[in-house]
Amino acid sequence: MQNFIAIRIMIIGFDAKRAFQNQTGLGNYSRMLICGMAQQHQDVRSFLYAPVMSGDFKSYFSGYANISTRQPSGIDRYFPNLWRSIGVTAHLKGDKVDIFHGLSHELPHGIPHSIKKVVTMHDLIVWRYPQYYSPFDRLVHRIKQRHACRVADVVVAISHQTKQDLVEFLHVPEQKIRVLYQSCDDIFWQPISDEQRAEVRETYKLPERYIVCVGSIEERKNQIAVVKALAELPDDVHLVIVGHPHGSYHNSLISTVKRLGVVERVHIVTNADFYDFPAIYANALASAYVSQFEGFGIPILEAMCCDVPVVTSNISSMPEAGGDAALYADPNDPHAIAEQLRRIIGDSQLRQQLVEKGRQQRTKFSPERVIADFYNLYSSLCPKKEEN
């Protein structure tokens, strides 16, 4: 007679749209959590619900035996957004999902009451800075966020700053909110060889001495302030901006570069391969990330993982991410930004101190720690079923 071992399992459904389609922050967060859970907890089975599975991440999850995918079929294929907002719920009971986790600000309508609901809120920028959105996008995002926070059993805030905003703008009860930090992609936690650094320097024609500034080229990310700071630094220091242009801000950035006469010192890289990011960081003298507002500020962590000292904003969540491992400045004061960058460039001892502190600070956001926190959250929400 054959013996069977009973295994206690949890079945988690994830809104995986951005896990397949987004190459930046929200996508990285989704992939880190989904893959980390699959790798570290064989007692968790995941279903990924996504309207489209194509592009660079089409086969990203295919190597995991405990991950399955679901996408619209039949007539639903012609209405992918509607399927994601409503139609996906028809799959949840059949898949015996215990918990559904909306990984980026929203939850579908009609999730059965028997299924626990979790939503991650990365930021409430659409409420705090509505001018960054078109009227239509502002309305849609606000409706989705309000609905998700209302129906969720647990609202995950990726920082205490986001928790404060959830209470202030959406009046979410504090007892419903859990602050669970995020990590960055696994590639930033791997050693970077001299060969990788040299290859990436050659591929992107990187200058010898440069400040790196990573993030979408848009008003909130505030790259113009870094360009103004660069104009006050020694002529042999360059600036490498890595990100995709959004809207007219890119044109304003170029105009500022020309007006300040630093055209030869500013290098804008819009086509960087994500897997080259660690070496782009590692080759830099420092990272400048002086955003006007962030829910967390993932480039701060990425830089620390690559042993690069950071200058960042002294507002919102950025001191939360950087701790005592970063230098801070008013994002609206290019002179202050320049002074902090000048300190790093000119003081090798300070630079090494910041690198060492960064190695300590980044442990707060390690993938293992983040996955353990989420596993504990999921376990607290529902008893795991036994399966033979």
pLDDT digits (tens, 9 = 90+) for 237-280: 999 999 999 889 999 999 999 999 999 999 999 999 989 999 99
Residues 125 and 217 in one domain: no
**Rg of the chain taking only CA atoms, in angstroms:** 22
* The pLDDT value given to residue 1: 44
Answer whether residue 386 is part of any domain: no
Answer whether residue 2 is part of any domain: no
Answer whether residue 1 is part of any domain: no
pLDDT digits (tens, 9 = 90+) for 283-328: 999 999 999 999 999 999 999 999 999 999 999 999 999 999 999 9
Residues 205 and 157 in one domain: no
Residues 351 and 329 in one domain: yes
Answer whether residue 388 is part of any domain: no
* The pLDDT value given to residue 12: 97
What is the tally of helices (H) and strands (E) in the chain?
Answer: 16, 14
List the domain range (segments joined by +) for residue 234: 186-364
CB 154 within 8 A of CB 173: no
Residues 355 and 219 in one domain: yes
d(CA 114, CA 154): 14
**Where does the chain have alpha helices with state H?**
17-21, 25-40, 80-82, 89-92, 125-128, 135-151, 160-170, 194-203, 223-230, 249-259, 277-282, 298-305, 318-322, 334-346, 348-361, 367-381
Residues 63 and 155 in one domain: yes
Residues 116 and 191 in one domain: no
Answer whether residue 260 is part of any domain: yes
pLDDT < 70 stretches in the chain: 1-7, 383-388
Answer whether residue 235 is part of any domain: yes
CATH number at residue 17: 3.40.50.2000
Residues 21 and 70 in one domain: yes
- The verdict on pTM exceeding 0.85 is yes
Residues 65 and 92 in one domain: yes
d(CA 300, CA 302): 6
Answer whether residue 356 is part of any domain: yes
Q: In what order do the strands lie in the sheet with 310-313?
A: 266-269, 238-242, 210-214, 286-289, 310-313, 326-329
Residues 153 and 106 in one domain: yes
Burial class (CB in 10 A: 0-12, 13-18, 19+), 90: exposed
* The pLDDT value given to residue 192: 96
Residues 18 and 75 in one domain: yes
Answer whether residue 387 is part of any domain: no
Residues 215 and 246 in one domain: yes
Residues 152 and 283 in one domain: no
Among residues 42, 47, 57, 59, the alpha carbon closest in space to that of 15 is found at 47
* The pLDDT value given to residue 384: 55
Number of domains in the chain: 2
* The pLDDT value given to residue 74: 82
